[in-house]
Chain A
Amino acid sequence: MAKYIIKRILFGVLTAFVVATLTFFIMNLVPGGPFLSEKAVTPQAQAAMEAKYGLDKPLFVQYLTYMGDILQGDMGMSLKKRGFTVNDIIRNKFPVSARLGGMAVLLSVLIGVPLGSIAAYNRGKVIDNIIIVFSTAGIAIPTFLSSTLMMYFLSVKLKLLPSLGLTTPASYIMPVLALSLYPASYISRLMRSSMLDVIGQDYMRTARAKGVSTFKSIFKHALRNAILPVVTYLGPLLAYLMTGSFIVEKIFTIPGLGHEFVSAIPSRDYPLIMGTTIFLACFIILMNVVVDIAYAFIDPRIKLK
C-alpha cells in the first residue's frame, strides 16, 4: 500500500514538472506580450521594462530562472495588478472558489449517489423514468442558463435570495446549485448504470442466499462496488469545481480564482497566467492522487497493479 501511494505521488510530481515546462514554452510561443499595447511606447521604455522582468535574456535562461523560482515557491509578481504577487492572488482567491466548489461536490454526491441507486433498484418503474428525465435535463442544460434562470426567478422575481457576491450564507445557495446541477445529474447516471451492473453480479445473489437483508445487501455489498466509477469521476470533478468556474463566478460576481484566471489571459499577465496554470495543474494532479489512493482503499484488487 505504502509503495502504491509513493509511486502515485512521485508520478504526480513528475506530471507537475512537465506541465510547468510546457506552460512556460507555450506562453512564449504565443505572439504578443504584456507591454505591447495600442499606446505607443518608446523602444527604450520597452527595453527597460523587459530588462526589469528579465524578458531580454535567452529563453532557456528565463526558463531556468523561472523553474528555480517556482521550486522556492515564488511565482513572481503580477504584471497588471501592481504590488500583488501571484502567490497573494492565489491565496486570496482560491479559498473562495474552493469552498464553493467543495460544497458543490458534496451536494452532487449526496444527490447523485442515492438518486442513481434508487433508479437502479426500481429499474423500468415510474420513479426510474422520472430520475432519468431529470438527470438528462441536468446534463443538457448549460450552466449559464440554469444560473440566469435561477437568478431571475429566485432573486429578481421572488426576492428570496441575494443575487450577487458571497456576503451571507444564503448567497451560497444559487452558485452551489448551479455548480452541482451537471455533476449531480452525471453522478446519478453513472451510479445508476454501475448499480445495475452490480445488482446482476453473482456475489449479490450469494448475499441474498445467505439471508442478508435487502438493506444490508445494498449498503454493504452493492454500494462499495458500485461507487467505484463515481470515485474515479470525483478526481477531475473536485479539481474542476474547486478551482472555480468562470461562468458561475462571473454571473454571481464571486471573487474567485476562475474569474481571475480567465481575466489574466487577455491582459497577458504572464506570471499570473503561468502561476495559476501551474497551481491548477498541481491541484488537479493532487486530487487525482487522492482519488487513486481512495480507490485503492475501496477496492483491494487495485493493490496488485
Chain B
Amino acid sequence: MSDYLVDIKHEKLSFFTPVGEVKALNDVSIQMKEGEVLGIVGESGSGKSVTAYSLMGLTADNGKIVDGEVNFNGHRVDLMTEKEIRKIRGKEISIIFQDPMTSLNPVYTIGNQIEEAVRVHGDKTKEEARQRPRELLTLVGINEPDKRLKQYPHELSGGMRQRVMIAIALACEPKLLIADEPTTALDVTIQAQILELMNDLRRKLKMGIILITHDLGVVASMCDHIAVMYAGEIVEYGTTDDIFYEPKHEYTKGLLKSIPKFQEKEYSRLVPIEGTPVDLLNPPKGCGFAPRCDSCMKICLERKPEKMIINADGTFEDMPDETEYNGKHYSRCWLQKKEQFELQDNAKGES
C-alpha cells in the first residue's frame, strides 16, 4: 500500500468511440500527500477532468483504464466494482463541478439534497443527520440556513448554489475534494469569494484538494503543487514557485507568457497558445507539443521526451522509472536532456 493519499501510476485511459480509440490519458502519474493542494492546469481537452473523474470511478461508460494503477487512500480504484466505489464516493472523496446552475436537482429542496449526502453513507445518527445540513450551510458561509434549506435551487444565486455544492461535497468530511473549475461559471467577484471559502475550508478541515482550472491566478493563490497537462500527459510538475518562476517545459512557458500582465484587476484567463491541440485519436509518436513549439528539434518529432528531474541547483537528472519522485520538479521536454548533455560536456571540458 502506498503512503500517499493519491497515487496514480502510469495511468492510460481511452474512450472507445465509433470513430476510434480516443487516448485521453497517456501515462499520467500523480502523487499527493494528505492535506496537500494540487492544481491541474492545461488547455481544454488536455485530460484534466478525465484524470480527476477516474480517481472516483466517474469515468464515462465508454472510457476504460487500459494500463496503470489508480490508488486512493489505500483503495485500488481502478480494480473496484461500481458498488465498492460507491461506498467511498461522497465519503472519502468528493467533487464539485463547474456549473452550479445545473449540478443541483431542480425538483428537490437544498435541504433534501444536502441531507441525502449526509445520510447516504448511513454512519450518522438520526439526530446528527438532521442537524448536519444546517451546520454545513453555516460552514460554507450561507446566512439564514433554516430558510435556505427549504428553498429550491432556482431560488438561489450562482455563488450560493456553488456554496451548496461545496456543502454537499463536505457532508462526510472527505479526505480529498476535487474542484473541477469551480469558479469558471461565476462572476468575477463571486469567484474570489468562493476561492477564499475553499482556502478557508482547506485550513479548517485539513483535506486534500485537487483544483482543476484554466485560471493560473487561481492556482497561484492556493496550490502547493501544480501539474501542467498537455494532450493527456503531465508535461511539467513542481511547486507553485517552480512552475511560476522556473518553468522548464516550452508549453508551460507559453502558458505563463499568455497571461496578460496584471493591469486589469480581475484574474486573467488563459489565452490559448497558437496552433491546434493534439488529435487524441492518432497521437504523434514524438512530443505532442512539437507542432506548436518554437524550440522543436528533430528528436522531438521522433521520440517521446522522458521525464527529467530539475534540481534546485539547476542541474538535471533522469527521473527513475518508478514514479516515486517526492514532489520534485520535473519536466518532459527534450531541451532538458540537451542541457544536461551540455552541462556534462562543460564539466568534462573543465576537468
- Residues 204-218 (chain A) with a chain B CB within 8 angstroms: 205-214
- Residues 135-183 (chain B) with a chain A CB within 8 angstroms: 152, 154, 165, 168, 171
How many Å lie between the Cα of A304 and that of B151 in the bound state? 13
- Please report whether the interface of chain A is mostly helix, strand, loop or mixed according to DSSP: helix
Asked whether A300 lies within 8 Å of B152 as measured between CB atoms, the reply is yes
Asked whether A301 lies within 8 Å of B106 as measured between CB atoms, the reply is yes
* Residues of A with C-beta under 8 A to B97: 202, 205-206
Instruction: Digitize B86-119: 1 where CB-to-A-CB distance is under 8 Å, 0 elsewhere.
Output: 1111110011010100111111100000001100
Residue with the highest number of chain B CB atoms closer than 10 Å, among A202, A209, A214: A209
Asked whether A212 lies within 8 Å of B165 as measured between CB atoms, the reply is no
Instruction: Digitize B60-91: 1 where CB-to-A-CB distance is under 8 Å, 0 elsewhere.
Output: 00000000000000000000001000111111
* Residues of B with C-beta under 8 A to A212: 86, 90, 116, 120
Closest 9 CB pairs of A and B: A211-B90, A211-B89, A210-B90, A202-B102, A203-B105, A202-B103, A300-B152, A210-B117, A206-B103
* Residues of A with C-beta under 8 A to B86: 211-213
Select which of B105, B121, B154 is within 8 A of A206 by beta carbon.
B105
How many Å lie between the Cα of A300 and that of B156 in the bound state? 13
Residue with the highest number of chain B CB atoms closer than 10 Å, among A225, A300, A301: A300
Chain A residues with a Cβ under 8 A of chain B:
201-203, 205-214, 220-221, 224-225, 298-301, 304
- Residues 13-63 (chain B) with a chain A CB within 8 angstroms: 56, 58
CB A192 to nearest CB in B, in angstroms, measures 17
How many Å lie between the Cα of A220 and that of B58 in the bound state? 20
Closest to A298 in B: B107
Asked whether B99 lies within 8 Å of A202 as measured between CB atoms, the reply is yes
Closest to B168 in A: A210
Asked whether A210 lies within 8 Å of B154 as measured between CB atoms, the reply is no
How many Å lie between the Cα of A304 and that of B106 in the bound state? 13
* Residues of B with C-beta under 8 A to A201: 102
Asked whether A210 lies within 8 Å of B58 as measured between CB atoms, the reply is no
How many Å lie between the Cα of A206 and that of B87 in the bound state? 15
Asked whether A299 lies within 8 Å of B107 as measured between CB atoms, the reply is yes
Asked whether A301 lies within 8 Å of B152 as measured between CB atoms, the reply is yes
Closest to A304 in B: B154
* Residues of B with C-beta under 8 A to A206: 97, 103-105, 165, 168
Select which of B88, B99, B106, B171 is within 8 A of A300 by beta carbon.
B106
How many Å lie between the Cα of A113 and that of B8 in the bound state? 42
* Residues of A with C-beta under 8 A to B104: 203, 206
Given A210-B94, A211-B120, A220-B116, 18 more A-B residue pairs with CB atoms under 8 Å apart are A202-B99, A203-B103, A203-B104, A203-B105, A205-B103, A206-B103, A206-B105, A209-B90, A209-B95, A210-B90, A210-B168, A210-B171, A211-B90, A211-B91, A212-B86, A212-B90, A220-B108, A298-B107
Closest to A210 in B: B90
* Residues of B with C-beta under 8 A to A221: 105, 108
Asked whether B105 lies within 8 Å of A207 as measured between CB atoms, the reply is yes
* Residues of A with C-beta under 8 A to B56: 209
How many Å lie between the Cα of A220 and that of B165 in the bound state? 18
CB A201 to nearest CB in B, in angstroms, measures 7
Closest to B104 in A: A203
Asked whether A209 lies within 8 Å of B102 as measured between CB atoms, the reply is no
Asked whether B116 lies within 8 Å of A203 as measured between CB atoms, the reply is no
Q: List 27 A-B contacts (CB under 8 A).
A: A202-B99, A203-B105, A206-B103, A206-B105, A206-B165, A208-B58, A208-B89, A209-B56, A209-B89, A210-B89, A210-B90, A210-B116, A211-B88, A211-B89, A211-B90, A212-B120, A220-B108, A220-B116, A225-B105, A225-B106, A298-B107, A299-B107, A300-B152, A300-B154, A301-B152, A301-B154, A304-B154
* Residues of B with C-beta under 8 A to A224: 107
* Residues of A with C-beta under 8 A to B94: 209-210
